[in-house]
Amino acid sequence: MNIKCLKTLEYDKILARLKDYCKTYIGKDKASILNPSFKKLQVENLLDYTKEATSLVIRKSGIPLSDIPDISLYIKNLESSSILSSLSFLNIARFLKISREVKEYFFASCDINLDDYFKLYDLFDNIYINKSIEDKIFSIILDENIIADDASVKLSSIRRQKKKLEQDIREKLNNFIHSSANSKYIMEPIITIRNDRYVVPIKEECKGLVKGFIHDISSSGSTVFIEPISTFELNNEISSLQVDEDIEIEKILRDLSNLLYPYTTHLKNNINILGDLDLIFAKASYSLDIDGILPQINDDKYINLVSARHPLISQDKVVPIDISIGKSYSTLVITGPNTGGKTVSLKTTGLLLLMAYSGLFIPVKENSSIYIFDNIFADIGDEQSIQENLSTFSSHISNIVEITKSVTPNSLILLDELRFWYRPY
């Protein structure tokens, strides 16, 4: 089915609404490229998924999916033996947590019979979970900038030494600041850090009276930040330990990266499954909101839509229509005055079929039945434009010619404002 015909029937607007029901970027991406199927078995399969998801939504509320982080780049980095960042690990752990919660949503419930959900069962069952890795990451990485002290024995030791040195240096600098010999040089009695070194703020005019190294000058120029010579060695020791700490953190992140590498295939599989589930449950939620039902599918090439409603028209304004074709007649001509609903009837017929072919329930009454055509063709225009613009009319004629080239006995054709020009000789 060509894109122009889908747009004519406003199928793109249905996809836009469906995307709003998706909770993840994966589901939204899948909704954006969703195309109707014209194969009966595929349509039945899609509708079965929606049927099971609708039942679960009614019984247990929606699936516990939230906007999951995009871990695709992290997986590629793992596959190329790169070391991931702390933020990357946190996002992977969050992804694993959401995956686990989604699986538990289905299997941890005792109020449903899993045999009733044989389609969804395989999807949920194939979700990979690893609580051990999930917990390990969360225990090691506290946030994107903080690695836990007990992430390794060596890291814990380094940080204890750093803390002791920092206490020693602060004590020395406090003594320096409050000594009677130096207090007159101090701009403010505080200890601060410049270039990862502990320093004190000295009045600019006194900088030559304090032995030490200048690391910074205030924007006004009235204050210089000096590292007193008495704390130089302690600062050096802290700097050395900082290098050791950075090396150890890199080792910890490398070990975590190596730990995750064997599971990249599982992670990629989860991305796809969660996207599929998101889209399926979005279809279910949308179907419920438009009071859609699962239509019957017949093999006798007929359509019987009872109290069909156009899904893009507000329910308090839409006028339900009955549409039947294919049993006693294969051609239906709709006539009537302008604004009488002819075009809406055509669009309603085509759009509801496309929705069903995409696995969506449709807003009709029970006992409605549809046929799975091998294609749907539509040429729906505007009467005024045809009267006023010959090129528009020519375009319609071209569309109809193209339809006649592609149509089969199992196709549905929707033509609006069909006109014949007669030139007498």
Please report, for the domain that includes residue 139, its CATH number. Answer: 1.10.1420.10
Instruction: Write down the mean pLDDT value for the chain.
Output: 90
**Would you say residue 95 lies in a domain?**
yes
182: CATH? 1.10.1420
Q: What is the DSSP string of 102-150?
A: HHHHHHS-SSS-GGGGHHHHHHHHT----HHHHHHHHHHEEETTEE-GG
Q: What is the pLDDT of residue 92?
A: 97
Q: What is the pLDDT of residue 316?
A: 85
**Would you say residue 424 lies in a domain?**
no
- Specify whether 235 is located in the same domain as 324: no
Gap between the Cα atoms of 50 and 410, Å rounded = 26
- Specify whether 240 is located in the same domain as 264: no
Q: Measure CA 134 to chain center.
A: 21
- Specify whether 403 is located in the same domain as 363: yes
Range of the domain at 197: 153-249
Q: What is the pLDDT of residue 384?
A: 41
Residue 332 three-state SS: coil
Q: What is the pLDDT of residue 383?
A: 43
396: CATH? 3.40.50.300
* pLDDT over 80 at 1, yes or no: no
**Would you say residue 425 lies in a domain?**
no
How many domains in the chain? 3
**Residue 268 · residue 99 · CB < 8 Å:** no
Cα atoms found within 13 Å of the Cα of residue 100, Cβ hemisphere only: 13
Q: What is the pLDDT of residue 407?
A: 87
**Would you say residue 423 lies in a domain?**
no
- Specify whether 331 is located in the same domain as 199: no
**Residue where a domain stops, chosen among 220, 249, 278:** 249
Tell me the percentage of the chain whose pLDDT exceeds 70.
Answer: 93
Q: Going by C-beta distance under 8 Å and a sequence separation of 6 or more, which residues neighbour residue 391?
A: none
* pLDDT over 50 at 269, yes or no: yes
- Specify whether 89 is located in the same domain as 209: no
CB atoms within 10 A of CB 53: 26
Average pLDDT over residues 397-405: 78
**Would you say residue 204 lies in a domain?**
yes
* pLDDT over 90 at 417, yes or no: no
Task: Please name which of 213, 183, 210, 208 lies closest in space to residue 196, comparing C-alpha atoms.
Answer: 213
Tokens of 85: 């960042």
- Grade residue 353 by pLDDT with cuts at 50, 70 and 90: very high
Q: What is the pLDDT of residue 397?
A: 73
**Residue where a domain stops, chosen among 193, 227, 249:** 249
pLDDT in tens, 169-212: 999 999 999 888 888 989 989 999 999 899 999 999 998 898 99
- Specify whether 18 is located in the same domain as 107: yes
Gap between the Cα atoms of 299 and 21, Å rounded = 32
- Specify whether 145 is located in the same domain as 26: yes
Gap between the Cα atoms of 24 and 270, Å rounded = 13
- Specify whether 204 is located in the same domain as 328: no
- Specify whether 172 is located in the same domain as 263: no
Q: What is the pLDDT of residue 419?
A: 60
**Would you say residue 306 lies in a domain?**
yes
**Residue 84 · residue 78 · CB < 8 Å:** yes
**Would you say residue 228 lies in a domain?**
yes
pLDDT in tens, 23-34: 999 999 999 999
Question: Which position has the token pair 């010959």?
Answer: 390
- Specify whether 135 is located in the same domain as 269: yes
For 107-139, b where at least 16 C-beta lie within 10 A, e where not — what string? Answer: eeeeeeeeeebebbeebbeebbbbeebbebbbe
**Would you say residue 130 lies in a domain?**
yes
* pLDDT over 70 at 392, yes or no: no
- Specify whether 124 is located in the same domain as 20: yes
- Specify whether 280 is located in the same domain as 234: no
